[in-house]
Amino acid sequence: MKGSKIPYNQNHKEINGIIYKKCNKHNVYFSEDDPWLPCTEEYFYKNPKNKTDGLYPYCIKCAIKSASERQQKHRDNLLLYKKKYYNKNKEKMKSQSATNRKSKPNYYKEKTKEYRESQKGKEKYKIYNLKRQKKKHIMTKNEWMHTKNYFKNENGEWSCAYCGLSINDHLIERKGKLTIYDFHKEHVIDNGRNDIKNCVPSCQSCNSEKGTKTLNEWYNPNNPKYTYERYYKIYLWMRYDCKKYTEKKTKNNKI
């Protein structure tokens, strides 16, 4: 047959009415295993180009082993490719990831727990926590209250400085329950100062989306959450109005 390197009768046989297929890589990876396996998709991946039986000439077990070897051999190139692909399809992958996490919450919870308890995870989270400590706002309770009051919406409710979400709608799932949580103390300038001048109330979603981006890079007319009124209010707060509420810090009045 055209495109077939091995005649059908040399790598296929019938035993008790069941068609078996010989994996052409078994002697490379699993010399002690029987290379004859049932000719089904349970043991061989589908290959539409193979007009003989519609399957690849090597079994799934060997395919996984071969792929693992290629990944190790070309690890740097693969990581570079994955990074480029992620940057090109960031929104699509984030959406898919969110869908997967909702459909398999327990699976991802266990994976996260395993990673946190691993040596690599412990080191990574230790570095992350040190960075977060350096970025922790040093504000009094009154300063934080004034900051939230400044960004109240037209209904008099505390709201996110970026998207305008009301505090009453700032629901976060914890232990399977949706609960109203306070807004995040958001650094408008990511690596800037940690006082009231560089702080606005932000919902979890906006804080996560903005990440380490600059204000103009993330919060602009291309962002569906953007309004000029909210942008200008953030500017006025940082440039002028926060000074009205700045207090002298003491050991007793820090949050």
Give the pLDDT score at 3: 45
In a domain, 16, yes or no: yes
Do 145 and 241 belong to one domain?
A: yes
pLDDT-based confidence at 105, cuts 50/70/90? Answer: confident
Do 48 and 100 belong to one domain?
A: no
pLDDT in tens, 194-247: 999 999 999 999 999 999 999 999 999 999 999 999 999 999 999 999 999 999
Last residue in a domain, options 81, 110, 134: 134
Do 148 and 204 belong to one domain?
A: yes
Nearest Cα neighbor of 184 from 209, 197, 201, 196 is: 201
pLDDT in tens, 157-183: 999 999 999 999 999 888 778 899 999
In a domain, 255, yes or no: no
3-state secondary structure the chain: CCCCCCCHHHHEEEECCEEEEECCCHHHHCCCCCCEEECCCCCCCECCCCCCCCECCCCHHHHHHHHHHHHHHCHHHHHHHHHHHHHHCHHHHHHHHHHHHHHCHHHHHHHHHHHHHCHHHHHHHHHHHHHHHHCCCCCEHHHHHHHHHHCCCCCCCCECCCCCCEHHHCEEEECCEEEECCCEEEECCCCCCCCHHHEEEECHHHHHHHCCCCHHHHCCCCCCCCCHHHHHHHHHHHHCHHHHHCCCCCCCCEC
In a domain, 193, yes or no: yes
Q: How much of the chain, in percent, has pLDDT values that exceed 90?
A: 66
Do 130 and 152 belong to one domain?
A: no
Last residue in a domain, options 35, 69, 103: 69
pLDDT-based confidence at 132, cuts 50/70/90? Answer: confident
Residue 251, pLDDT above cutoff 70? no
Q: How many domains does the chain have?
A: 3
In a domain, 80, yes or no: no
The edge-to-edge listing of strands for the beta sheet with 12-15 is: 12-15, 18-22, 36-38
Domain that holds residue 41: 8-69
In a domain, 228, yes or no: yes
Residue 249, pLDDT above cutoff 70? no
Do 152 and 226 belong to one domain?
A: yes
Do 166 and 225 belong to one domain?
A: yes
Do 31 and 126 belong to one domain?
A: no
In a domain, 39, yes or no: yes
Do 43 and 110 belong to one domain?
A: no
Amino acid at 254: K
pLDDT in tens, 141-156: 999 999 999 999 999 9
Quick one: average pLDDT of 127-153?
A: 90
Give the pLDDT score at 1: 40
Do 129 and 145 belong to one domain?
A: no
Do 62 and 31 belong to one domain?
A: yes
Tokens of 157: 């409710």
Q: Which residue has the higher pLDDT, 235 or 94?
A: 235
pLDDT in tens, 10-65: 999 999 999 999 999 998 999 888 999 999 999 999 999 998 899 999 999 999 99
Do 152 and 125 belong to one domain?
A: no
Amino acid at 202: S
Under a CB-based contact definition with an 8 Å cutoff, are residues 186 and 227 in contact? no
In a domain, 84, yes or no: no
Last residue in a domain, options 80, 101, 134: 134
CB atoms within 10 A of CB 163: 18
In a domain, 77, yes or no: no
pLDDT-based confidence at 2, cuts 50/70/90? Answer: very low
Do 145 and 233 belong to one domain?
A: yes
